[in-house]
Amino acid sequence: MNGGAAGRIVGVGRALGGRIVTNGDLEDVLDTTDDWISTRTGIKARHFVVEGENAATLAIEASRKAIEHAGVDGGSIDLVICGTSTAPESMPSVACLVGEEIGTPGAGAMDLAAACAGYSYAASVASSMLHAGAAGRVLLIGSDAMSTIVDPGDRSTAVLFGDGAGAVVLDAGDGDSGFVDHILGADGSGAALGRAGHPGDHEKLFQNGREVFKFAVKILPEMIEKLLSRNGLSSEEVQYVIPHQANARIIRSAMRKMEIPEDRVVINLDRFGNTSAASIPLSYPDIYDAMEPGKYVITVGFGFGLTWAANLYRI
């Protein structure tokens, strides 16, 4: 981006579905084992929404926490943008429901659907609006209730996903700290590799796991490499990589290729499973206080569509 960084994170929050489901719990209802799930994916537990919860209620809870953490008033938000593919209804958007509950009168509100890359896509829009001066403060959210679109009886997918939301408050910043670059990509020829309907639909999520796996291990390091090289950075300057949390084997393979040590890679899939657009932003509360000014954070996602996106953030 020309002219410095835009979109400085000043508050973070997250919310998770009310029911914790361990691999052991799934052993009781599916033909699966803790060993299979742990070894193939790294996932140990996930949270599912309970009665009355959905992608909108999770987004509202995460947003409340982020706004409180930032110490700002909802009325000062100019735009609410939510990456989600599991809105409880097609209309109104999750972002509109968040705006109403948080109290952001008159602020713009929209959802952005880019599957598991939804947060990184939405972050690029948010920081561009701040960079242009079209907004002064943005509430940026990733929220998905994947259990509402997955067949609980399909062991090949039911063990992988979880429900959660992550929210961040972004200020324009001073040009030093904030997002400095983004990559967005998509390839609709890969649409058949993963599909899902809306919550409540009869048809549930389908994926070709092996092909998505191959795509992911290729695209993740490619995006990181591109962000580093076109910004003249070395991987040592990156304090954290927050990859989309689909599978620990995908993440390990990508980080090995990039020679990024494990202690700089943020992992939450062991606790939360694959929470789609939420998987990146719900990591922030775990690292926010340790983020060192002057260093960089790379957020990098991929998903059905196919979609992929990454963001370079200067702390």
Residues that bind ligand COA (CB under 6 A): 32, 36-37, 40-41, 116, 155-156, 159, 207, 209-210, 212-213, 216, 246-247, 274, 303
Closest among 173, 164, 167 to 271, alpha carbons compared: 164
Question: Is 2 designated active site?
Answer: no
Match 């803790």 to its residue by tokens. Answer: 34
Comparing CB distances to ligand COA, the nearer of 5 and 82 is 82
Hey, what are 288's tokens? 């926010």
Q: Report the nearest approach of ligand COA to the CB of residue 153 (Å).
A: 11
Per-residue b or e along 271-302, where b marks 16 or more CB atoms closer than 10 Å to that residue's CB: bbbbbbbbbbbbbbbbeeeebeeeebbbbbbb
Question: Is 82 designated active site?
Answer: no
Q: Where are the beta strands (DSSP E) in 219-306?
A: 238-243, 296-303
Q: Which residues pair with 185 in a beta bridge?
A: 308
Catalytic-labelled residue, pool 23, 82, 244, 311: 244
Comparing CB distances to ligand COA, the nearer of 63 and 276 is 276
Catalytic-labelled residue, pool 69, 96, 116, 247: 116
Length of the chain: 315
Q: Report the nearest approach of ligand COA to the CB of residue 299 (Å).
A: 14
Comparing CB distances to ligand COA, the nearer of 37 and 138 is 37
Closest among 178, 64, 168, 65 to 130, alpha carbons compared: 178
Question: Is 116 designated active site?
Answer: yes
Q: Report the nearest approach of ligand COA to the CB of residue 36 (Å).
A: 4
As a whole number of angstroms, the distance between CA 210 and CA 295 comes to 35
Comparing CB distances to ligand COA, the nearer of 118 and 178 is 118
Q: Report the nearest approach of ligand COA to the CB of residue 312 (Å).
A: 21
Q: Cis omega before residue 261 (within 30°)?
A: no
As a whole number of angstroms, the distance between CA 115 and CA 303 comes to 5
Q: Report the nearest approach of ligand COA to the CB of residue 248 (Å).
A: 9
Comparing CB distances to ligand COA, the nearer of 139 and 250 is 250
Q: SS3 of 162, please?
A: coil
**Chain centroid, CA 312 distance in Å:** 15
Hey, what are 122's tokens? 């939405």
Residues with active-site annotation:
116, 244, 274
